[in-house]
Amino acid sequence: MNKSEWTTIGLAASTLVVTSSVTLILPFASGSVIDYTIASGENGGTSPLVLASGLFALSSLAGGGVYLRTLWLAKAGNRIVARIKQRLYSSILRKDSSFLDRQTTGDLLSRLTSDAQLLQGALTTQAVAGMRATVMSLGAFGMLLYTSPTLALVSCATLPPIFILTRHFSKQLKTRQERVQKLLGEATSLAEQALSHPTTVKQSVAETYETVRYRNGVAAAHAESVDTAHMQAQLEAGSHISANAAPLRHGSITAGDLTGFVMYSLLMAGNLSSMTSIYGEVVRASAASSRIFELMDQSSNVVSSKGHNDYNTTVSSTDPNTNNPSQRAASIEIENLSFRYPSRPDVPVINNLNLTIPAGGVLALVGASGSGKSTIGSLLTRLYDTDDNNNRNKDETESAIRINGKCIRDYDPQDLRQMISVVSQEPILFRGSIRDNIRYGVWDNASEESIIEAARQAYVMEFVDDFPDGLDTLVGQTGMQLSGGQRQRIAIARMLANNKASIYIMDEATSALDAQSEHYVQSALQKIFTEHSGKTIISIAHRLSTIRHATSIAVLQKGKVVQMGTFEELSTQEGAFYELMKTQLL
């Protein structure tokens, strides 16, 4: 917490002096009034109007204190939770792909929403109630001692059972709440998956299936939460019974003192009971916060060249001290590259692969599905690292990927990714306009002229001109309001808009497109091959038309380069490339 938040919490705590004092004075004052009335007889005593005025003044003072305390604690708590949510979100986005591969979207969203909501409640509502209950319990006990030390000590006998109950249930409550949050995350993941692909659900007539799956997930979370509620209810009931079990023995105290003592006993009992309820909520929030901070504390395997794995602060890519390769044509050397995905450590994907791409060269990677083509692109952009994550065998030599002679591990990951533009097989568009999606990732460096030029080169303007809002047309969730070919052309325009990029990676950019869409995308790709000679291009392709302009072609089988040459060379000699042509995989 920062200084401002500590100050706000301190001010909120100070109001307890006022509100608690008023609340604690009332039973004492009531007892004194009773004694005074009895002693004065029927004709004596203070006017009821005076008593009512005094009580109203005290209540108003206490009400003002309650208002300020609630407001200040809510402000501080909401600010703290907002900062935690922002850091958690940033932390999730910066995790390496090997970590994200093991997570579900629903669980991550659950930590951002329901877990954070529980933590927010603990820092606001429960914090207010807890502070008040603690002060009131201590104050009430102090007044009990003042009124009748003997009876007060008898009342203390009820405290040990409360502490024993609380200690017994606390660990079980936390464990159960962690299970509840996990089950909620799984249910959210099911919903997120179906809602992200509603068309597929409808076309598969899977509405009932998905509804039942989600209902079962929610039911499991509900059943666990009911068990948790039963346990918390037992704790609160036991504490309430113990707190109210103190025997009152009428001794040598006056009727007024006895009245005050009973009121203070009830006040202490009520607040002790509230404290157990609050404690249960705090335990639930503790389970939620454990899930939040566990995620934030997970380190990334992709480490920045600056020596840390949360590369939030990066040096500008225009800074000459970064030796950023985007300032000149980039050559690529891949040496002894071997890799296994962390989720499948026993399955080699890349096996001792060697490739050299000169600056400005165009390399086509071809091969059957699963041959390792797309993995090379993932390794170039350091979505995974080659050495830390692949569990290599002892007889495997160290892998290295170099750009302009410098190992990619020596670049900051963000600087590295800024100089590599990627078009994937299934382009992802984000909610917003076409313009927003073209300049996604290059907001500060993409002028209106460069956006329009990129859209023109990618043939985006061919369909944008038909839209009333032009480039400001909204694309919808994940771009679902556009066709596959239109989304692909926008993705190509996004790649071209990145003027810092010196490497283009196009991963099967024309697959699964209709003939007309493929024509436009092919035209855009041919422009890139012929007009962007200052870029190094890697084209991962199935079709002949996308690789004819490549300066060299590498044929992959089971993670190895089995053939290398130009299109003319490979198409006239028997081998893996020739077989691909015969089976029409190209």
SS (H, E, C) 159-211: HHHHHHHHHHHHHHHHHHHHHHHHHHHHHHHHHHHHHHCHHHHHHCCCHHHHH
- The pLDDT, as a whole number, for residue 249 is 44
| Whether 291 and 346 share a structural domain | no
* Distance of alpha carbon 139 from alpha carbon 136, whole angstroms: 5
Cβ-contact 451, 445 below 8 angstroms = no
**What's the mean pLDDT in 51-70?**
75
Q: List Cβ neighbours of 79 (8 Å cut-off, separation of 6 or more).
A: 5
- What proportion of the chain, given as a percentage, has pLDDT over 90? 13
Q: What's the confidence (pLDDT) of residue 158?
A: 60
The phi, psi pair for 162, rounded to 5°, reads -65, -45
What's residue 563's pLDDT? 93
State the pLDDT at residue 455: 92
> Is 42 contained in some domain?
yes
On whether both 397 and 273 belong to a single domain, the answer is no
Cβ contacts of residue 486 below 8 Å, gap of 6+? 460, 463, 517
CB distance 549 to 526 below 8 Å: yes
Average pLDDT over residues 325-339: 79
Residue 349 has pLDDT above 70, yes or no: yes
Judge whether 185 lies within some domain. Answer: yes
CA separation for the pair 540, 543 (Å, rounded): 10
Which of 277, 297, 317 finishes a domain?
A: 297
Structure confidence at residue 215 as a pLDDT band (50, 70, 90): confident
CA dist., res. 167 & res. 84, Å (int): 29
Q: What's the rounded mean pLDDT across residues 149-174? A: 67
Task: Please give the structure tokens belonging to residue 264.
Answer: 């203070």
584 vs 17, which has greater pLDDT? 17
Q: What are phi and psi of 332, to 5 degrees?
A: -125, 130
Residue 165 or residue 402, greater confidence:
402
Question: Looking at the predicted structure, is the pLDDT value of residue 522 above 70?
Answer: yes
Q: What is the mean pLDDT of residues 382-409?
A: 71
Res 395: pLDDT: 46
Mean pLDDT for 228-240 is 64
Same domain, 204 and 102: yes
pLDDT tens by residue, 103-141? 877 788 888 888 888 887 787 777 777 877 888 888 878
pLDDT at 87 over 50: yes
Among the residue ranges 34-43, 76-85, 90-99, 525-534, the one predicted with the least confidence is 34-43
Identify the pLDDT of residue 57: 77
Residue 334 shares a structural domain with residue 281: no
Shared domain check, 180 and 43: yes
Within a domain: 561? yes
CA 286, 292, 297, 299 dihedral sign is: positive
> In whole angstroms, what is the distance from residue 24 CA to residue 404 CA?
76
Residues 211, 171 share a domain? yes
495 contact partners, CB below 8 Å, separation of at least 6? 421, 422, 423, 501, 504, 506
Helix (H) / strand (E) containing 419 = none
pTM value is: 0.69
**DSSP string for 424-448:** -SS----SSBHHHHHTTT-TTT--H
Give the torsion sign (CA, 265, 268, 274, 275). negative
* pLDDT at residue 199 is higher than 60: no
pLDDT value of position 375: 92
Note whether residue 280 is domain-resident.
yes
CA angle, 106 then 112 then 116, to 5°:
130
What was the pLDDT predicted at 236?
A: 58
Q: Round to whole Å and give the CA distance between 270 and 243.
A: 8
Structure tokens that stand for 520 in this block: 């436009």
Q: Which residues of 175-204 are buried (b: 16+ CB within 10 A; e: fewer)?
A: ebbbbbbbbbbbbbbbbbbbeebeeebeee
Report strand pairing: 552-557 vs 362-367: parallel
Backbone angles phi, psi at 270, to 5 degrees: -60, -40
Give me the CATH number covering residue 408. Answer: 3.40.50.300
pLDDT computed for residue 327 by the predictor = 46
525 domain-assigned:
no
Are 277 and 73 in contact by the 8 Å Cβ rule? The answer is no
- Top-ranked range on mean pLDDT: pick from 168-177, 299-308, 358-367, 577-586: 358-367
Does some domain include residue 236? yes
For the chain, the first-to-last Cα distance in angstroms comes to: 59
Q: Rounded CA gap, 449 and 460, in Å?
A: 14
Instruction: Look up the domain containing 352 and give its range.
Output: 325-419+538-586
The pLDDT value given to residue 251? 47
Does residue 356 sit in helix, strand or coil?
Answer: strand
Of the candidates 305, 294, 321, 161, which has an alpha carbon nearest to the alpha carbon of residue 234? 161
Our count of domains for the chain comes to 2
Measure the CA–CA gap between 198 and 210, rounded to whole angstroms. Answer: 11
Residue closest to 20 by CA, chosen among 132, 127, 130: 132
Give the CA diameter of the chain.
124
Residue among 148, 165, 137 nearest 247 (CA): 148
Same domain (yes/no): 170, 129: yes
355 and 220 together in one domain:
no
Q: Tell me, what CATH number does 163's domain have?
A: 1.20.1560.10
**What tokens does 150 get?**
């003997």
Contact 387, 398 (CB under 8 A): yes
| Segment 397-451, tens digit of pLDDT | 567 899 999 999 888 888 888 889 888 888 888 888 999 999 988 877 778 898 9
Task: Give the chain's mean pLDDT.
Answer: 77
d(CA 119, CA 292): 9
Q: What pLDDT is stored for residue 471 in this prediction?
A: 93
7-21, 239-253, 300-314: lowest mean pLDDT where?
239-253
Would you state the pLDDT for residue 2?
Answer: 74
Least confidently predicted of 205-219, 253-267, 289-303, 328-342: 253-267
Reduced to 3 DSSP states, what percent helix, strand and coil does the chain have, rounded to the nearest 5?
60, 10, 30
Asked whether residue 133 falls in the same domain as residue 278, the answer is yes
Same domain, yes or no: 289 and 332: no
Instruction: Pull the structure tokens for residue 248.
Output: 């009152």
Domain membership of residue 516 (yes or no) is no
Q: What pLDDT is stored for residue 39 in this prediction?
A: 61
Q: Give CA angle at 173 (171, 178), nearest 5°.
A: 100
Q: What is residue 77's predicted lDDT score, i.e. its pLDDT?
A: 78
Q: What is the number of other CB atoms lying within 10 angstroms of the CB of residue 50?
A: 10
Asked if residue 171 and residue 29 are part of one domain, the reply reads yes
- 361 and 270 assigned to the same domain: no
Distant-in-sequence, close-in-space partners of 400: CB < 8 Å, separation ≥ 6:
333, 334, 335, 336, 337, 386, 407
What one-character-per-residue DSSP string does 311-344 give? --S---TT-GGGT-GGGS---EEEEEEEEE-TT-
pLDDT value at position 364?
A: 92
pLDDT by residue (tens digit) across 264-307? 777 777 777 677 777 777 887 888 888 888 888 877 777 665 55
Residue 315 covered by a domain: no
Q: CA 173, 178, 183: angle at the middle one, nearest 5?
A: 125
Confidence of residue 36 (pLDDT cuts 50, 70, 90): low
